[in-house]
Chains A and B, each alone.
Chain A
Amino acid sequence: MTRGSPPHVLIVGGGGTGGALAHDLALRGVRVTLVERGEFTSGTTGRHHGLLHSGARYAVNDAESAVECIEENTLLRRIAPGSFEENDGLFVGVTDDDMAYLPGFLEGCEATGIPTQVLQPSEALRLEPMLTPDLKIAVRVPDATMDAMRMPMRFFATAKANGADLLNWVDVADLELAGGTVSGARVRDLVTGRTTRIGADLVVNATGPWSEQVASMAGVDVPIRPSPGVMLAVRGRLTNMVINRLHASGDGDIVVPQRALSVVGTSSWVVEDPDDLGVPADHVQRMIDEGSILVPAIRGAAFRAAWSAARPLIGSRDDADSGRELSRTFKTIDHAVDDGVEGFVTITGGKGTTLRGMAEVCADVVCRKLGIDAPCSTRETVLLPHAAAYAA
């Protein structure tokens, strides 16, 4: 680091987390370079079903995630106006078991600050005529639909305007590790085929389900389990609101409408390689079967697409097999503390809704390590339109 010039942070990974971190650090006056081997958001971020979580999904079993979600939900609407279909969500009960889940659900939402409104079946059907006529109760919460690519792209757009160097089509071949310190990366530019070196005062691993692979380049282990889920998109906007099943988390229990599509998600399993997911046919069928319990018209709707995305769930390989029991919250790991490797931080876990909050916590750690005392200002900074990310 030259005296007087700002420290240089290299972020590996151009998903929502990396983009939000680049934005946060750029606002704090840090010199930022971000590398992503494909298009920005191409790994997990862009593939998610597009739910802006109210947090209600986590209100019963994961209060920490629920609180993170409702805070970020409120905040993102303020800093990214126009990036959400502000449509709200319903949690719909159809069985006696669902009804038994209701009291704890309402308590959990109350305890975590998530506003709710209980709707009787006739009222719910008036608002959403395509809901199953068999519903017993519906609870309205402030879910919303986000554009899974364009909302995160606004962080990239703003970071770029604030001087961050954002490089897509650049793959990390290896991290440079000498004397127990990470000092940069050897990168391959896929557009030119050239391999070069990027030196940095600190490297952040923000590669989501790939974070174990990238961490291993620095000789450290990150306890991440790539846990894919299958999603199904059918033609037709069958509902205005996001429709969730009122029960503990399960397969096919959410319908997220977006544009003129309805997206049904998801399933959950665990893989070794986040690049090689597949789309199991039985999972697609389960999306149809379970989704049509909530919105019967899904069964007859025209197919548009089925795909998989890998969540970066925190937990060791000894933990649960399905991935459902792993926490949906995030973790920043300073590898100097955990593994004795300096100049290397991993941020992983979390979800699309909490990208800004994840970035704030990670940027605090990064700035502390670099001796920068600028506070976070992403809560107040309204983001540029997504198209600014493509400006020359």
Chain B
Amino acid sequence: MTTNGASTRRLRLHRYRRGDLEPHIEEHDVPADEDTTVLAALRWIQLHRDPTLGLRHSCFHASCGTCGVRVNGRERLACVTKLSEHQGTVTVDPMANMPVLHDVVVDMQPFFARFPDQHPIVRASELLPNADTVDGIDEHERFEDCIECGLCLSACPVAATDATYLGPAALAYAQRLLEEPRGPDREALLDWADQDNAAWRCHAAFECTEACPSDVRPAQRIMALRRELRRRTQQGREVPEPANEEARS
């Protein structure tokens, strides 16, 4: 944390440890300047006030997706959210729609359990404007935009009322696989997306796209997935199974 122009900001934290009857609220004053991030402030509390504060983080630059929390009720990555974006006391809560492990940390297991089986992390890259492909590399690859932070699932109003809903990250992921097939079983993926708790369950609130810190646009991808499913249904009608024709005649 830089110290120029330092003043003090108040954080209001959700504290919970397994075995507690219910969570409680705890407030801390933290030295901060205009660049201090929510993650830096939480780390300061951990270092100077309470080493038992549960905090999930890894990369500090919005690439790993581990530090998702709710800041004043909105889904944010703590590492790229500045305290100075908010007025007054800043409230930090764990993400919603996933079980709280402790303090502001949720258990990500149910999040990852929603994904379709095949789960690669690299995609063919868009080429940079004016750049040629490097000799010896047929196609650039780069990591998926999705950093699996869970913020979209936390923000999703459907997931809040239906724990079985597969949710935006997993559905957007399936659409990514269809858009750029790398050998997945297309029909199996579409069957997966056609389940009751999948693409059709979305209410199109677009909260996931609003929450996404990595420009995945999950809601738009769910809509694209629905178009794929409709296309498949229509194609099914246009090309009837020969067996059915025989049955009718």
Contacts and interface: CB of A to CB of B under 8 A. Distances in A.
B145 A129 contact: no
Interface in A289-336: 304-307, 309
A169 B57 contact: no
B137 A169 contact: no
Contacts of A239: 128
Given A83-B121, A390-B109, A39 B131 contact: no
A309 B102 CA distance: 25
B108 A127 contact: no
B122 A85 contact: yes
A29 interface: no
A169 B102 contact: yes
B132 A42 contact: no
A261 interface: yes
Interface in B109-125: 109, 111-113, 115, 119-122, 125
A304 B80 contact: yes
A85 B137 contact: no
A128 B35 CA distance: 32
Contact of A233 (B62, B120, B131): B62
A270 B153 CA distance: 41
B63 A147 contact: yes
A176 to B, nearest CB: 21
B60 A47 contact: yes
B60 A307 contact: yes
Nearest to B39: A307
Interface string B41-76: 000000100011011111111111010000000000
B19 A305 contact: no
A392 interface: yes
Nearest to A281: B2
A190 B54 contact: yes
Contacts of B102: 169, 190-191
B64 A85 contact: no
Given A87-B140, A190-B102, A39 B128 contact: no
B1 interface: yes
A1 interface: no
Contacts of B240: none
Contact of B61 (A85, A130, A307): A307
A130 B64 contact: no
A295 to B, nearest CB: 12
A175 B1 CA distance: 32
Contacts of B143: 85, 145, 147, 150, 258-259
A190 B53 CA distance: 8
Interface in B138-152: 140-145, 147-148
B80 A169 contact: no
Contacts of A130: 128
A240 interface: yes
Interface string B145-173: 10110000000000000000000000000
A231 to B, nearest CB: 7
Contacts of B119: 385, 387
Contacts of A45: 58
A275 B120 CA distance: 33
A129 B111 CA distance: 40
A276 B61 CA distance: 18
Contacts of A281: 2, 4
Given A305-B62, A392-B113, A279 B2 contact: yes
A218 interface: no
Contacts of A259: 63, 142-145, 147, 214
A231 B59 CA distance: 11
Contacts of A47: 58-60
B137 A275 contact: no
B54 A191 contact: yes
Q: Which 8 A-B pairs have the closest CB atoms?
A: A46-B58, A307-B60, A305-B61, A149-B64, A390-B112, A233-B61, A129-B130, A39-B56
29 contacts: A46-B59, A46-B66, A83-B122, A84-B122, A85-B125, A85-B140, A86-B141, A128-B128, A129-B129, A148-B59, A190-B54, A191-B102, A193-B52, A233-B61, A233-B63, A240-B125, A240-B134, A258-B63, A259-B214, A260-B145, A260-B215, A278-B3, A279-B2, A281-B4, A305-B61, A307-B61, A385-B120, A391-B113, A392-B113
